[in-house]
Amino acid sequence: MRAERIVLLTDLEREAEGTAVIEEERDTPEGIVLIADGRPLLITEGTQLTRPKREELESLDRLEELQTGLFVQYRGLWTEAGLVEVKELSAWTNSLDEREGSLYEKYQPVMLVPPEAEAGPVVLKVDKNRYTVLDDPELQLYVDRLGKQLLPNDSAGRLGHNFWFLVVVHERPQASAFPGGVVVIHTGLFELVDNEAQLAFAIAHEIAHVTQEHAWREYLYHRKKLLVLRWATAGLGYIVESAIQRGYQRDLEEQADRLALWYMARAGYDPREGIRFLRRLQENQQGLSALLWQTHRSYGSRVEAVMNELVRYSVQGLPYELLTRDSPEFAVLRERIPRAQIDAAVEQIVEQEQ
């Protein structure tokens, strides 16, 4: 094998910080290890428990109260063993806000099935969004199995997410996730990915948007900016819809990338395919969060962040040789996606927009 390029990663950042939902908790001789933010967070006797900046949050008083489903904000240092030794930690139960409750009700999915006497496709309706569901039960079951295989252990979360994975007819190589757990995969995405592991990364990225409640966090982020700018007319629905369709703020997208690596590696897929997928997006300049990441430089920063995470996976001894990149089933099913049906659906969308 002849290498075209060799990159030495010798200056990784030692500091780590973030805000995420606790997905797993493990007791070890060194201390408590929390799996959050796609990283193992080591909680020791030296970890300082602080209060969150938002005073209205119901925060914890003792480290012993930590459990899955809580939000944590952490700051610490990477160790040589590939763990983040947490120096400061705040944790809180994020009670369901009335506005947040209405958000999750707003994006509940509805299947529109035509009467038997009429011909026509089944349509998925999520709020104002309508998608033509691909008429291929075997492919739908395959994607549903793949998606559920990627779910974290505590995937229901505090909101009881009911994950639902559906393939819809659309040429754009994209996927999107709605707050309640509906993950929509465009048929065009199958033309962009090279193997099953890359498809797993794309789906896992969308799962992370749901498990980390990015739609609500996006709204809170923009609401603060809107109040400062006195743009009170922009509503919750508009902000969330823009995030779903155009991409979340940069740190939320990078967190979704990071968690996608974690989800796919735990499911037995080679996370290095995540980098290859992002490079494919960079080449095509479309797909996940296309309108947010307009430049090659932005995609490059995502690739660099993912590469840094994978170096730490190697430090932890991830057995890459045992991980899966592809399956015969993926190749067979991808070939069955009907090009004519995609073209017809695109024409119908164009007519509706006009």
| Cα–Cα distance, 288 to 255 (Å, whole number) | 14
The type of residue at 309 is E
Instruction: Report the DSSP beta bridge partners of residue 41.
Output: 34, 84
Q: Which domains does the chain have, with CATH numbers?
A: 15-95 (2.40.50.140), 99-353 (no CATH)
Q: How far apart are CA 25 and CA 44, in angstroms?
A: 13
- What is the pLDDT at residue 4? 55
How far CA 224 is from CA of 103, 228, 231, 232, 254, in Å, comes to: 18, 6, 10, 10, 21
Q: Going from the first residue of the chain to its last (354 residues), give the mean pLDDT of each consecutive group of 10, the final group possibly shorter.
A: 52 83 91 94 94 76 88 93 93 80 86 79 90 94 96 66 90 88 93 95 95 87 60 62 80 93 96 93 60 47 88 86 95 81 51 49
pLDDT of residue 82: 86
Helix (H, G, I), strand (E, B) or coil at 134: coil
**In the structure encoding, which two tokens stand for residue 70, read together?**
């809580």
Task: Report pLDDT for 258.
Answer: 95
Other residues' Cβ atoms within 10 Å of the Cβ of residue 258:
22
Question: Is the separation of the CB atoms in 28 and 74 below 8 Å?
Answer: no
Q: What is the pLDDT of residue 55?
A: 63
Q: What is the pLDDT of residue 350?
A: 47
Q: What is the pLDDT of residue 353?
A: 47
Res 290: pLDDT: 41
